[in-house]
Each structure stands twice: as C-alpha cells, then as structure tokens.
Copies of this chain bind each other. A is one copy, B any other.
Amino acid sequence: MRYLTTDDLRALAIGAAFLGAGGGGDPYIGTLMARQALTEHGPVAVFDPSEIPDDALCVMSAVMGAPTVLVEKLPEGREQLRALHTLEGHLGHAITHVMCAEVGGLNSTLPIVAAARSNLPLVDCDAMGRAFPELQMSTPTLDGIGAAPMVLADDKGNTVTLDAVDNHWAERIARSVTVDMGASAFIALFAQSGSQVKQSMIPGTLRLAQRIGDAVIDARLRKDDAVAAAIAASGGFRLFSGRIDDVERRTEAGFARGAVSIVGIGDDSGRSLDVRFQNENLIAQLDDGRVLATVPDLVVLLETETGQPVTTEELRYGYRVTAVGVPCDRRWRTPAGIELVGPRYFGLDRDYVPVESLMEGDAP
C-alpha cells in the first residue's frame, strides 16, 4: 500500500495522457479536480491488486462520452458519488475499493476524486492498459465479467441503473443515455470481487503512468530528450516526427472521430503520416500505405519539444509532434482480445500485426 498525494498528480497526469493514446479527455481538468479533492480530504490509499482481500467489492468510477464536450462542462464530483452510491444500493453491499476503467486523462484522475471524497482506497489497476472508446473493451469482458449492473448519473440529477445481458448491450444502452444526458455522464460499473480483480484487471497501470510522467519531467529538467525518455519508460517505439498539417474532426454518435495528417521533419522529411482516431488514436499509416501501428497497440502523439502527450481534442495545425507506438497488454493480443478491440472492430480493413513486428519490417 502507498499513499497518493497532490505531489504525484503532475507525473500521473502526463503518464496517463500518454497511455490514453490520444483519448481519455483533458488531463488538466481531472488533475485540478483531483488536487482539490486530495487537498480537502487528504491522501488516498492505493493498493496493488495482490494486496486486496478476495472478498473486496471493487467498482470502477469513470466518465463516459465525448471528451470534446466534457471540456466545457467542468464536473463537481457530486455526480460521481451519486453513481457509486446508487450502484452500492443496487448491489446491496458496501463498495470497498474504487478502480480506474482506463488509464487515460480524465479517467485516471477522476477515480482519485471519487476515492478521496468517499474515503475509499484505490486499486492500482485498470481494465484496458490504455484508453478505449467503448466500455465493453475491457479485460474483464474477456473473462465474462459484466459491466452491468452499472449506473449513469448526470449533472441535472438524473440517474440510470442498467442491468444488461452482455457488455455490448451495456455499451449500446449506456451510450444513448449518455447522449441524452448532454453527451457525457458519470458512471459506476464492473463491480468485481477482489479475486476477480486479481484475475481480470491489468495491474500497476497507475504506477506505470507515474513512471512515464516522472521520466518526462526529469528529462525536461535535465534538458534531455523528453520524447526519448517517455519511449524508454513505456517500452515503446519512435514511429515518426513532423508537423501537423491538417486535422479533421467531428462528434458523431457521442464519439470524437477524425484524422490528423503530419508532414515529416528531419529523418522523416519527404513523407507524411496519417493518424485516424475515435476518441483514441487507432492507426498510424505512412503516405506510401505502410502501417506503423494499429489498435490495440497504443499510438501516442507527443509534443516533440516537451514530450507532452497531445490528446485528440488538442491537435492543432502547426504542432510539432512525434508519433510513438507502444505494445498493448498481452490479453489484447489473444484471438478474443483482437476480436474485441482489433483493427476490424474499428472498421479498419486489416489484420492486427504487433507494433514490434511492424518495426522489425522497418529495419534495414
């Protein structure tokens, strides 16, 4: 067990934005909220999955919806607690631990707010090892664990409790409700026992995020290459460096969809990279058609100068960015994992090839 304090938030925000692979929402808002909650309520206890009792009742606290909309709706934390308490009432058992649904901007920091304000410990784990746009894209789904019963709460006071036959139905109904609720909703979901958490969640992702964030901050202080530091800390690969030439973006059925075009600089002069996204980055493809990385591996865009991860809603013409590819959790590389979150699910007409294999093809 360790304690998470306001001192940890800066590194965590950077690392979580990195692992968010372009999605997960604006880390700044989540960090502000977490700072305020930790200041008011004190540090939050964080347990590794191996440290929690098998009969613990762990619940994910998250926000669902298009991050572009959420930026304009600064939440207060009250809705998060209403979602958790409503689920607790529905389950008829006290929730003992809060968890992250994904590691990515807002959804890494908002559970800290929920934990602080409800005086519950966090478990250091998440269900994606990155961020994904749909809620069934969670490792517990691979083990047949239900996202539902789940609760959605909005800022107007509406609360919806959903019992779904499977996690695709949970996603579908919850997505419609989220759109009605103003395109974003606070959710409590994937209630699991401690033993299920040990089996089905991805452990240590908060610690990994902090390590990546610390590496970036250290490199900046030492005037080192912060991008290289982030790559080393994450086990990733440098894919491409350039300047953003074009961003196409639309909010569609509650998702932020679009693509960014990057014109190469330095070693990458004379070619360009196209990155498509649906909340998160999905695929990095050169103008000659060669694919450098696809979901479920992480495609991360970093500000080349500072190593700061750039979320899809922050993409702007003229930014100098470096694209990085990071291997995803091994569970996403199984046939069931690829069916759930592979390229074809996102409408990309290609098979999944791990980023390290694609990189080997790149070697001279």
Chain A residues within 8 Å of B, Cβ to Cβ: 86, 90, 156-165, 169, 172-173, 176-177, 179-181
If A160-B162, A160-B163, A163-B159 touch, does A173 touch B169 (CB 8 Å cutoff)?
no
The one of B156, B161, B163, B172 that contacts A180, using a Cβ cutoff of 8 Å = B172
Minimum Cβ distance to chain B for residue A328 (Å) = 30
Residues of B within 8 A of A164 (CB): 158-159
Minimum Cβ distance to chain B for residue A34 (Å) = 27
- Docked CA distance A247–B42 (Å): 67
Could you pull out 16 A-B pairs where Cβ atoms are within 8 angstroms? A86-B163, A156-B165, A157-B165, A158-B162, A158-B169, A158-B173, A159-B162, A160-B160, A160-B161, A160-B173, A161-B161, A172-B180, A173-B177, A176-B176, A176-B177, A176-B180
Most buried by B among A86, A163, A172, A179: A163
- Docked CA distance A126–B163 (Å): 29
- The 8 residue pairs across chains A and B that have the minimum distance between CB atoms: A161-B161, A157-B165, A159-B163, A176-B176, A173-B180, A158-B164, A176-B180, A160-B162
- Docked CA distance A180–B162 (Å): 13
- Docked CA distance A113–B180 (Å): 32
Residues of B within 8 A of A172 (CB): 180
- Docked CA distance A110–B173 (Å): 25
Residues of B within 8 A of A181 (CB): 173
Residues of B within 8 A of A179 (CB): 176
- Docked CA distance A165–B169 (Å): 25
Select from chain B the residue with minimum beta-carbon distance to A153: B163
Most buried by B among A159, A172, A181: A159
Q: 9 extra interchain contacts, Cβ-Cβ under 8 A, other than A86-B163, A160-B161? A: A90-B161, A159-B163, A159-B164, A160-B163, A161-B162, A173-B177, A176-B176, A176-B180, A177-B177
- Docked CA distance A173–B90 (Å): 20
Residues of B within 8 A of A173 (CB): 158, 160, 177, 180-181
Select from chain B the residue with minimum beta-carbon distance to A178: B176
Minimum Cβ distance to chain B for residue A168 (Å) = 11
- Docked CA distance A180–B90 (Å): 23
- Docked CA distance A340–B158 (Å): 21
- Docked CA distance A158–B180 (Å): 19
Select from chain B the residue with minimum beta-carbon distance to A179: B176
- Docked CA distance A162–B86 (Å): 11
Residues of B within 8 A of A169 (CB): 156, 158
Minimum Cβ distance to chain B for residue A67 (Å) = 21
